[in-house]
C-alpha cells in the first residue's frame, strides 16, 4: 500500500500548480471566487477561462499529443482533478467537448469530423452541449422520442431535449435521436453532431432553485443534420453513447477532491461562528458531527483510491464508480445541509446579504441536484445491486 506520487507525477503537479498561480482570475486564490451572475458577463468569464486553459495546454490533457493534448496518464488526470478542486477552479465551459465529444470523435469519428471539429473543441472556439434527456426520458434514457428522418441528403430532426447544461452558449450539440422504431428501446437510436446556430433549434434557459440558469430546454423543429454528422453508425447511437461514457476514466475524482476541500471549509466555518462567545467547534455535539463528516470524507477518498487501484490493475474502470457517485453526492448534500444548520437563523440570508459566504447558500441549493444529475441515486443503487452484488434486475418495460 502506497499513497505517494511518483517523481514524474509530482513534477506534473508542480507544473500545474505554477500555471494556476499565474493564470487563475485575479484574486481567485485569495478567496475572491465569484463567477459573475449576469448571464452575459458569465459567458464572457467562462469563455475567457476556457481559452486560457487551452492556451496553457490544460484543456484536454488526456488527448493525444498530435491533437494538442498531453497524452496524460490516468494518474495525471487524477492529479489534475485534485489540483483543480484544491483551488476551486472555475467551471470548464466546454467540458462536454473536451472530456466526452472530442475523445469519442478521436476514437470512432470520421477523418472529416476529426479535421472539422477537434481543433475548435480544444481551443474553445466551439462550445458543445449534450442532447440526451427528454421530458419523458430521464432515468429511462433509452425512451427518447426526438426523431431524425432522412429526407434526400438531409436528416430532419424534431423533438425536445431538457436539462442541457450550457445549451444557450453552445455552438454544437452531441444529440441522440431516434432514427428507427423497432419496438426495442435501445435500437434505432443515432448520435448526431448538430449545429446549434440554425433556424430549427431553439433554446430556453431553466431557472433552477438556486436562481441560476445553467440548464436548458432545447426545441428541434425541422432542424437539419447530414450523414457526415453521424458518429458511429446509423441506429447504433446507444453504442456510441456508451463509448462516450467510457471516456470518463477518472469517475467522480473532482467531486471526491472537492468534498475534501469542502470539509476543511466546514471546520473553518465551525471555528469562525460563535455561540456564547465560544467557537461552535468547541461544542461537543458539533465536534461529534464534524468527526462523523471527517470519517465519511476520508472514506470517500480512500474508496476512490481503492477503485482507482482496481482501474490501474485491470486497465479499465469497473462498476464501482456508481458507489463513489452515490456516496459523494449524498455526503455532499449532508455536509452542505450541516453548514446551513451551523449558520442558525441567519443561514437563509443569501447572495450579497449572506451571513458568511454566499457560496454556502448557493451550493446548498445546488446540492439537491447532486443525487439527480448523472444518474439518480436510485439508478446508481440499482447498478450496484445488479452489477456488483448480482441481485435480481428491476422489472423493466
Which of 240, 333 has the CB closer to other proteins? 333
Among positions 275-294, residues that touch other proteins (CB under 8 A) are: 281-282, 284, 287-288, 290-292, 294
How many Å apart are CA 281 and CA 268, to the nearest integer?
9
How many Å apart are CA 229 and CA 94, to the nearest integer?
19
The least distance separating other proteins from the CB of residue 99, rounded to whole angstroms, comes to: 21
Size of the site for other proteins (CB under 8 A): 49
302 binds other proteins (CB under 8 A): yes
Residue of 202, 248, 265, 330 marked active site: 248
Contact 37, 95 (CB under 8 A): no
* Residue span 179-218 as binding mask against other proteins, x where in contact by CB under 8 A, dash where not: ----------------------------------------
273 binds other proteins (CB under 8 A): no
Of 175, 244, 308, 342, which one interacts with other proteins (CB under 8 A)? Answer: 308
* Residue span 75-94 as binding mask against other proteins, x where in contact by CB under 8 A, dash where not: x--x----------------
10 binds other proteins (CB under 8 A): no
Contact 254, 300 (CB under 8 A): no
* Residue span 321-360 as binding mask against other proteins, x where in contact by CB under 8 A, dash where not: --x--xx---------------------------------
Which of 54, 327 has the CB closer to other proteins? 327
Which of 372, 385 has the CB closer to other proteins? 385
Contact 368, 333 (CB under 8 A): yes
In degrees and rounded to multiples of 5, residue 107 shows phi and psi of -80, -50
> H/E/C letters for each residue in 180-244?
CCCCCCCCCEEEEEEECCCCCEEEEEECCCCCCCCEEEEEEEEEEEEHHHEECCCCEHHHHHHHH
Of 314, 392, 396, 397, which one interacts with other proteins (CB under 8 A)? Answer: 392
Does 81 participate in catalysis according to the annotation? Answer: no
Q: Which of 370, 382, 364, 367 is nearest to 323 (CA)?
A: 382
26: three-class secondary structure by DSSP: coil
Amino acid at each position: 500500500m502506497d499513497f505517494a506520487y511518483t517523481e514524474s507525477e509530482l513534477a506534473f503537479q508542480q507544473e500545474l500548480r505554477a500555471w494556476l498561480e499565474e493564470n487563475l482570475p485575479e484574486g481567485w486564490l485569495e478567496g475572491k471566487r465569484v463567477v459573475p451572475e449576469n448571464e452575459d458577463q458569465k459567458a464572457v468569464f467562462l469563455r475567457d477561462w476556457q481559452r486560457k486553459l487551452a492556451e496553457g495546454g490544460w484543456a484536454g490533457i488526456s488527448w493525444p499529443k498530435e491533437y494538442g493534448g498531453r497524452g496524460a496518464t490516468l494518474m495525471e488526470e487524477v492529479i489534475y482533478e485534485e489540483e483543480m478542486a484544491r483551488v476551486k477552479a472555475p467551471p470548464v465551459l466546454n467540458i462536454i467537448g473536451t472530456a466526452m465529444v472530442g475523445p469519442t470523435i478521436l476514437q470512432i469519428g470520421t477523418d472529416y469530423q476529426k479535421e472539422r471539429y477537434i481543433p475548435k473543441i480544444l481551443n474553445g472556439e466551439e462550445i458543445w452541449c449534450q442532447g440526451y434527456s427528454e421530458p419523458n426520458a430521464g432515468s429511462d434514457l433509452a425512451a427518447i422520442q426526438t426523431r431524425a428522418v432522412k429526407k434526400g441528403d438531409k436528416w430532419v430532426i424534431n423533438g425536445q431535449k431538457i436539462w442541457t447544461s450550457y445549451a444557450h452558449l453552445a455552438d454544437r450539440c452531441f444529440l441522440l435521436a431516434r432514427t428507427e422504431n423497432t419496438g426495442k428501446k435501445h435500437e434505432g437510436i443515432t448520435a448526431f453532431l448538430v449545429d446549434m446556430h440554425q433556424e430549427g433549434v431553439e433554446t430556453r434557459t431553466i431557472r433552477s432553485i438556486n436562481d441560476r440558469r445553467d440548464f436548458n430546454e432545447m426545441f428541434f423543429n425541422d432542424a437539419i443534420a447530414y450523414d457526415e454528422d453521424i458518429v458511429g453508425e446509423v441506429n447504433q447511437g446507444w453504442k456510441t453513447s456508451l463509448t462516450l461514457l467510457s471516456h470518463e476514466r477518472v469517475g467522480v475524482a473532482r467531486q471526491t477532491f472537492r468534498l475534501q476541500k469542502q470539509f476543511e471549509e466546514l471546520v473553518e466555518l465551525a471555528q469562525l461562528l460563535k455561540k456564547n462567545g465560544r467557537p461552535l467547534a468547541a461544542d461537543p455535539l458539533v465536534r461529534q458531527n464534524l468527526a462523523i463528516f471527517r470519517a465519511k470524507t476520508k472514506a470517500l477518498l480512500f474508496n476512490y483510491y481503492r477503485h482507482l487501484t482496481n482501474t490501474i490493475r485491470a486497465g479499465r474502470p469497473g462498476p464501482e464508480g456508481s458507489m463513489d457517485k452515490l456516496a459523494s453526492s449524498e455526503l455532499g448534500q449532508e455536509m452542505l445541509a450541516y453548514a446551513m444548520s451551523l449558520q442558525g437563523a441567519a443561514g437563509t440570508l443569501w447572495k450579497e446579504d449572506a451571513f458568511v459566504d454566499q457560496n454556502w447558500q448557493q451550493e446548498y441549493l445546488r446540492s439537491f441536484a447532486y443525487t439527480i444529475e448523472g444518474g439518480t441515486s436510485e439508478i446508481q443503487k440499482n447498478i450496484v445491486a445488479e452489477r456488483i452484488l448480482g441481485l435480481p434486475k428491476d422489472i423493466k418495460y
